[in-house]
Amino acid sequence: MKQEIKEYICKYCGEIFVGTRGGFSNHLRFCKMNPNQYPPKQKYKEVKQQTNIYKLKCKLCGKEYELELTESQYNKNNYSKFCSRSCANTRKHTIESKQKISDGLHNFYTGNTDYLKYKHWLKKSNELKSKNPYYIKDKEDNYVKYYHCGSKELNEKYPEIGCRQSKKWFNKLIPFGFDITSLGSERIIEEFYKCKELLYNEYVINKLSPADIYIKYNCSKYINHSETLLHVFKDWGFNTRSYSDAVKECFLQGKLDISETGNKYQYKHGWHTTWNNKEVYYRSQNELDYAIELDNQQIDYEMEFLHIKYYDTQLNEYRCAIPDFYIPTKNEIVEIKSSYTLDIQNMKDKFKAYKELGYNCKCICDYKEIQIL
């Protein structure tokens, strides 16, 4: 039921209040002129929580200690009687206090369903251990903890092996010649590092990608995805390649063609059929005109055929150069540029790498050959 809105006059301050009776009651209660007004919250707290420092003596060791208590707490003996937790825990219990503790624990555990479940599990612990791969039977038929390296000392000495939480982890190494029967013995150390060295050579030295390694060693039976190998390499501390470095390696190894990257070019581009029926991809009108010129002269050529690693002195990093034209009969690389796209320093860096590999080099800018020194 809605309360009726009326006009009220405060009997303390004389202020006119318009609203419900409940609102007016609150006004009367907290009116500043009300002699029976409740104290403000902060003041109420200060009055209620006034504390003093009391010097007390420990019941066990007799050491003096200080406690900040209210007068009420001190009068009611509602405070710790010991100077520290160690003194409180080592005190001598009376027969009555012992009985209280015993009754309290009994009532807690008999009515605690979680504890009863734990107790039920504890009874079957030996049965569980017999099925648990982390426990094996010793000579005296007792269950002892299982260690990958055969002993706790070797597990701690070779944490790369000992830290594995499951035997199943080692299944990932089976495609690389790991003997799974070596688990639980010292022989696992030799097997583990043999596989680690093999994968280091494949990934770091031979520059194979995780996907290449996955296919080469037919890992599908033991590893769900090649990405798992990358996580293993990171776990072992290998210097893994970034995405841009991986793309560069793909270009250098010829696994990725620049026309497959999906880039959109603002210049004229497309496929061109040469005089000897080869399909080549051009990326500007200048490149197409030069290709037609070679076709008219019936000179054999390739476009974006070579992938050469060079050092970019402007970016201070290694990059992959893909020359525009390669003429096998002359062992010559031809770069086609316009005055807009020509970067002299970048071209010098590329030509240095080309010449070190024994190629002849030529740069044509706006249909004219220029010298790159």
Give pLDDT, residue 149: 76
- Rg over alpha carbons for the chain, rounded to the nearest Å, is 42
From first to last of the 373 residues of the chain, give the pLDDT tens digit: 566 788 888 888 888 888 888 888 888 888 888 887 765 555 555 555 678 888 898 888 888 888 888 888 888 888 888 888 888 877 677 788 888 888 777 777 666 666 666 666 566 555 554 444 455 455 555 545 567 777 778 877 888 887 776 778 888 899 999 988 888 888 888 998 999 999 999 998 888 888 889 999 998 888 888 888 988 888 888 888 887 788 777 777 777 666 545 455 567 788 899 999 999 988 888 899 999 999 999 999 999 888 888 999 998 888 888 899 999 999 999 999 988 888 999 999 999 999 999 999 999 998 898 888 7
Q: 195: which DSSP letter?
A: H
Do 150 and 184 meet the contact criterion of CB atoms below 8 Å apart?
yes
* Cα 206 from Cα 33, distance rounded (Å): 90
pLDDT of amino acid 198 = 92
**Backbone CA torsion sign across 81, 86, 92, 93:** positive
Contact criterion met (CB below 8 Å) for 69 and 79: yes
Distance of CA 250 to CAs 304, 307, 323, 349, Å? 14, 10, 16, 21
pLDDT computed for residue 35 by the predictor: 81
Q: What is the CATH number of domain 251-370?
A: 3.40.960
Sequence-distant (≥ 6) Cβ neighbours of residue 370 within 8 angstroms: 363, 364
Contact 367, 286 (CB under 8 A): yes
Of residues 229, 247, 246, the one with CA closest to residue 238: 229
Q: Do the beta carbons of residue 68 and residue 52 sit within 8 Å?
A: yes
The residue with tokens 């296919």 is 215
- Cβ(253)–Cβ(244) below 8 Å: no
One-letter amino acid for residue 329 of the chain: T
Residues whose CB is less than 8 angstroms from the CB of residue 289 and which lie 6 or more positions away in sequence, other chains included: 367
**Residues in a beta bridge with 143:** 137
How far apart, in whole angstroms, are the C-alpha atoms of residue 203 and residue 198? 9
Domain spans, the chain = 6-48, 56-91, 152-240, 251-370
User: What are the backbone angles phi and psi of residue 348, rounded to the nearest 5°?
Assistant: -65, -45
State residue 351's pLDDT score. Answer: 93
Among the listed residues 199, 192, 198, the one whose alpha carbon sits nearest the alpha carbon of residue 163: 192
Judged on CB neighbours under 10 Å (0-12, 13-18, 19+), 333 is buried
> Alpha carbon of 332 to those of 262, 276, 325, 341: distances in Å?
28, 19, 8, 21
